[in-house]
């Protein structure tokens, strides 16, 4: 007989549907990578991201992917129309956003050109049954002031703000109901004080961004401080503040798993640094070492072996919404014979503020390891089951003892599940 000690504890938690949250609840934005191979499957294989889709408020496209003229992009307006992307987003009650250039080195740093291009793009989308609610200006401060060599705009902050204001006023004269916000990269190019001065200068030119989306290198040493300063600054100005979760900008990423894990760490850092932001933008522009914008894959949301973007939305939102569980008790045989099945029960208490809904995919998950070594890796709640905060849930299931020759200890006084930030305390078995 082989003696094997086990410790099965952990939770893979999804969050509540946005529809069940208050009207002033934070928004979730989704912006898949521009060459993700299953981009169009989002509008065809609807059953593969139902939970994530029900959380999403805004779906964002790059302007190049919905441009009014033919392009060489893999995602084009004509292909989006083929899968009825705008009709389905409307049916799902998901708003459309475009990420657009306002002040760009090419062409000519001229807001007259960029505003005309954006107006034509919006018009063309509306002629095909779409409706644009948001425009996200793609880093005009960075594009206007940073030295790119021969193609640089070379403007001061003040001149960049003046030209950005021209862009915003021109577009809003044509589409007064479109909300125009700003994306800016902060670290390592700017300080929080630079962003504050930038917003004040825009206001001096008669415009105020409808929202601000914070981009940064998550590995930066002062990122937490920047987040705290800027979230307070925008809250005081009643400008919605959002954080972009993009998987890291410093390195090439060749796997969806690398993107997923980097993003999880960044989300956990954001959660520790500031109160819940107004906007949460799950976006990717990650490039592989082959310079392909294909990471991460988007679907499905429910496979624990696939590190998809929609799964990232579910598990990232669970971190941000304070899903948590407290270990209460377990009954586990201290000795097992390899290859045989044994009953196990584990009781957890919902110690977070969010109810666990079976139909949203809440599961007990095997931990250390998570690869099905024990004959399973998840034990789901029943589809109609709801575990409210402070309520307990006892999971009863069978495990199959693995083929190991040596004593295995799966224990510890405490561990944190990397992929969703849960802290669970439990006894150690040896």
pLDDT at 249: 56
Regarding beta strands 341-350 and 325-331, do their DSSP bridges make them parallel or antiparallel, or are they unpaired?
antiparallel
- 318: which residues sit within 8 A by CB, 6+ positions away? 13, 14, 15, 420, 421
User: By mean pLDDT, which of 48-52, 298-302, 418-422 is the weakest?
Assistant: 418-422
The answer to whether residues 363 and 370 touch, using CB atoms and an 8 Å cutoff, is no
113 closest CA partner among 51, 35, 171: 171
Q: Is the distance from CB of 163 to CB of 144 less than 8 angstroms?
A: yes
Q: How is residue 65 written in tokens?
A: 């992917």
Mean pLDDT score of the chain = 82
CATH fold for domain 18-320: TIM Barrel (3.20.20)
pLDDT: which is higher, 241 or 412: 241
Question: Cα separations (Å) of 149 from 103, 106, 152, 157, 363?
Answer: 16, 12, 6, 18, 53
Q: In the chain, what are the domain boundaries? A: 18-320, 322-425
Looking at residue 399, its pLDDT comes to: 82
Pairing of strands 341-350, 27-31: unpaired
Q: Please report, in angstroms and rounded to a whole number, the separation of the first and last CA atoms in the chain.
A: 16
375-395 mean pLDDT: 83
Using a pLDDT cut of 70, give the percent of the chain over it.
81
What is the DSSP secondary-structure string of 163-206? Answer: HHHHHHHHHHHH-TTSEEEEEEE-TTT--HHHHHHHHHHHHHTT
Average pLDDT over residues 86-111: 91
pLDDT tens column, 121-137: 999 899 988 999 999 99
pLDDT on residue 150: 67
- pLDDT tens-digit series, residues 34-46: 889 999 999 999 9
Choice between 16 and 404, residue whose per-residue pLDDT is larger: 404
Q: How far apart are CA 66 and CA 61, in angstroms?
A: 7
- Whether residue 180 is predicted with pLDDT greater than 70 in this model: the reply is yes
10 Å CB burial of residue 369 (0-12, 13-18, 19+) is exposed
Inter-residue contact 17 to 355 (CB < 8 Å): no
pLDDT over 50 at 306, yes or no: yes
Q: Crossing angle for the helix pair 157-174 and 111-127, nearest 10 degrees?
A: 30
The SS3 of residue 386 is: strand
Q: What's the pTM?
A: 0.76
pLDDT class of 424 with cuts at 50, 70, 90: very low
pLDDT classification of 334: cutoffs 50, 70, 90: confident
What pLDDT is attached to residue 363?
77
Angstrom distance (rounded) from CA 152 to CA 400: 63
Say if residues 63 and 134 touch (Cβ distance below 8 Å).
Answer: no
């Amino acid at each position: 007989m082989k003696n094997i000690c086990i410790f099965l504890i952990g939770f893979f938690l999804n969050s509540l549907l946005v529809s069940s949250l208050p009207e002033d609840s934070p928004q979730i934005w989704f912006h898949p990578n521009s060459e993700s191979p299953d981009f169009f499957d989002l509008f065809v294989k609807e059953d593969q991201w139902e939970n994530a889709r029900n959380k999403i408020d805004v779906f964002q496209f790059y302007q190049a992917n919905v441009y009014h003229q033919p392009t060489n992009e893999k995602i084009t307006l004509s292909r989006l129309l083929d899968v009825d992307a705008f009709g389905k987003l409307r049916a799902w009650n998901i708003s459309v956003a475009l990420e657009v250039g306002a002040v760009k080195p090419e062409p000519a740093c001229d807001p007259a050109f960029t505003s005309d291009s954006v107006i034509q793009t919006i018009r063309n989308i509306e002629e095909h049954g779409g409706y644009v609610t948001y425009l996200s200006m793609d880093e005009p401060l960075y594009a206007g002031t940073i030295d790119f060599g021969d193609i640089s705009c070379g403007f001061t902050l003040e001149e960049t703000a003046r030209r950005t204001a021209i862009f915003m006023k021109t577009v809003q004269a044509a589409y007064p109901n479109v909300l125009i916000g700003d994306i800016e990269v902060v670290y390592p190019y700017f300080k929080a004080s630079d962003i504050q001065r930038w917003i004040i200068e825009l206001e001096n030119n008669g415009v105020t961004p409808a929202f601000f989306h914070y981009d940064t290198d998550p590995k930066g040493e002062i990122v937490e401080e920047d987040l705290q300063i800027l979230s307070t600054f925008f809250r005081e100005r009643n400008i919605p503040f959002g954080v972009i979760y993009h998987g890291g900008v410093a390195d090439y990423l060749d796997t969806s798993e690398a993107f997923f894990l980097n993003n999880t760490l960044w989300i956990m850092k954001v959660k520790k640094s500031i109160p819940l932001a107004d906007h949460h933008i799950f976006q990717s522009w990650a490039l592989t070492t082959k310079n392909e914008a294909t990471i991460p894959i988007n679907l499905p949301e429910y496979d624990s072996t696939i590190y998809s973007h929609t799964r990232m939305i579910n598990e990232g939102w669970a971190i941000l919404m304070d899903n948590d569980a407290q270990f209460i008790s377990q009954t586990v045989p201290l000795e097992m014979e390899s290859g045989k099945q044994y009953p196990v029960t584990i009781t957890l208490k919902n110690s977070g503020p969010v109810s666990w809904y079976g139909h949203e995919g809440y599961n007990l998950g095997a931990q250390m390891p998570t690869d099905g070594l024990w004959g399973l890796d998840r034990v789901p709640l029943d589809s109609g089951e709801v575990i409210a905060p402070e309520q307990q849930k006892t999971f009863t299931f069978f495990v199959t003892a693995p083929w190991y020759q040596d004593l295995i200890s799966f224990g510890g006084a405490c561990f944190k599940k990397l992929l969703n930030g849960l802290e669970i305390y439990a006894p150690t078995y040896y």
